[in-house]
Amino acid sequence: MTATEKMKKIIETKGLTEAQLAEALGVSKGAMHNWMKGVGKPSGNAEAKLEKYCTDNGISFEE
């Protein structure tokens, strides 16, 4: 699962907005919006923040 797919699932399951997830990850709303639209992809640092957010919030992507 790509980082963008994970972010979409988090937004859907947690009922967050893109802006709320961006704030939680410490990234700009513009960057989050672009990633959600498939423009660019998160840096390694942003992906690490995403993984930490998932771990801290008990979110798993195991199928």
For residue 3, the one-letter residue type is A
Q: What CATH number does the domain located at 3-56 have?
A: 1.10.260.40
3-state helix, strand, coil in the chain (%, to 5): 65, 0, 35
Q: Write down the pTM of the prediction.
A: 0.85
φ, ψ for residue 9, nearest 5 deg: -65, -40
Q: Measure the CA–CA gap between 41 and 18, rounded to whole angstroms.
A: 15
Per-residue model confidence as pLDDT tens digits over 8-61: 999 998 999 999 999 999 999 999 999 999 999 999 999 999 999 999 998 887
Q: How far is CA 49 from CA 32, 55, in A?
A: 13, 10
- DSSP symbol at 40: S
Domains of the chain by residue range: 3-56
